[in-house]
Structure 1
Amino acid sequence: MESYAALLRGIMPTNPNMRNEKLRAVFDGLGFERVASALTSGNIVFRTADDPADLEDRIQEALSAELGIPGGTIIRGHATLRALLDRDPFAGLTHERGSYLTVTFFKHEIREADLGSFDDDPLTRVIGFDHDARAFLTVIDNSTGSTPDFMARLEKTYGKDITTRTWLTVQRVVKKMEA
């Protein structure tokens, strides 16, 4: 039995069909064990012995059919996320109000992320790409009052099969997986 996190794209807790209790019910209905949510932004942890290769599609089909959620589902196993935390790619940096440490997870394998894709954006600092976690790591400067169009640029560069979480959220998801 392995522990997984489903990182759901496009979840808005104000939508009644996207509330944690309904999301968890879909996962329970799929027969997963120890289903729990981390925060209210589409992070569901669960345990299963099912083949991980089929999980993303099965979960997305169920979310679409039962709740009308068309967004993407990205799965990461506990070992992958724990190893990412242990590598500490943001060593010495602090997630705070004016500086967001972000992790963008890719659904599919990519050979290399374009680490220069934000060179012209003074509000975005690229830390790197973690191949094992398939994650693009960045620091977003929110201290200026103007918000960078970070998500739109990510989608333009990499498409919609991605989802972004703050570093604090990733830490909370892993903690929930270990509970």
Structure 2
Amino acid sequence: MTRYAAFLRGIMPSNPNMRNDRLRAVVEGLGFDGVGSVLSSGNIVFGCAQTDPAELEDKIQAALRAELGIGGGTIVRARDELRALVDSDPFADLTHGRGSYLTATFLKQPMPGPLATAPPELAAAVRVVRYDVPARAVLSVIDNTSAETSKYMGWVEQVYGKDITTRTWLTVHKVLAKL
């Protein structure tokens, strides 16, 4: 059995249909094992014999839409992919903190072209570190002290589309620990 993390897009814990207990129930209802949640931002861990992440994404998303009306998007990564990503130490000597967020933006599909760098208006607030091919993750450092930071997600969606979801590096570590 393989362990997976499902990163759900657009989860708002204030919405009763998006609370962890309801999200877990939907995934458990699909017959997956060891279902758990990490934080309250749409991170679900589970195990199953299925080995096609794209099929798992579709299956989970269809169930979330049908049972809870959630249409935001689901991105699945295997524990081994997340372990390799974390072990690659993409942020080396950097520390996640209030002023500087280390982030991983997971793409549903492989990156369509070359790695984009932040446009001039975001250059002071965002540094794209690299793209991790196996995890399909764009790794960035975001300066939270800059007023321009609020434009980051719009830029990322413009460049990579809406089939993405971003997590802090701390969240990626917490998800991996729960797997």
The superposition leaves residues 70-129 of structure 1 with CA deviations (integer Å, 9 ceiling, x where unpaired) of: 110000000000000000100000000000001000001225443324454110011011
In the TM superposition, 1:39-50 aligns within 5 A as: 39-50=39-50
Of the three residues 133, 137, 140, the one matched with 1:138 is 140
In structure 1, what is the Cα distance between the partners aligned to 2:18 and 2:105? 21
Give 1:132's aligned amino acid.
P
Alpha-carbon contact 1:118-1:125 (below 8 Å) kept: no
The 8 Å contact of residues 118 and 126 in structure 2, kept in 1 or not, is answered as no
Is 1:57 aligned to 2:62, yes or no?
no
- Counterpart of 1:37 in structure 2 is 37
Secondary structure of the structure 1 residue equivalent to 2:91: coil
Flag the 1:78–1:15 CA change in 2: closer, same or farther, 3 A: same
Q: Does the residue aligned with 2:39 lie in a helix, a strand or coil?
A: coil
Q: One-letter code of the match for 2:27?
A: F
Paired residue for 1:3?
Answer: 3
Q: Please state if 1:148 is matched with 2:150.
A: yes
More deviation, 112-121/73-82: 112-121
Equivalent pairs: percent with the same residue? 58
Q: Could you say what the CA RMSD is over the residues aligned between the two structures, in angstroms?
A: 1.3
- Gaps spanning 5+ residues in structure 2: where? none
1:66 is the counterpart of 2:67: yes
Number of residue pairs aligned between Structure 1 and Structure 2:
177
TM-score scaled to structure 1, two decimals?
0.94
Q: Would you say 1:172 and 2:174 are equivalent positions?
A: yes
Q: Is 2:109 the counterpart of 1:108?
A: yes
- 3-state SS, counterpart of residue 21 of structure 2: helix
Please say which of residues 101-110 and 143-152 is displaced more in the overlay: 143-152
Residue number in structure 1 paired with 2:19: 19
Q: Distance in 2 between matches of 1:48 and 1:113?
A: 34
Q: Secondary structure at the match of 1:45?
A: strand
Are the counterparts in 1 of residues 126 and 149 from structure 2 also a CA contact under 8 Å? Answer: no
- Give, as a single letter, the amino acid of the residue that structure 2 aligns with 1:93: L
Structure 1 unmatched ranges of 5 or more:
none
Structure 1 runs of 4+ aligned residues shifted over 4 Å read none
Q: Is the 8 A contact 2:108 2:163 kept in 1?
A: yes
Q: How much does 1:147 deviate?
A: 3.4
Task: Quote the residue 2:130 is aligned against.
Answer: 128
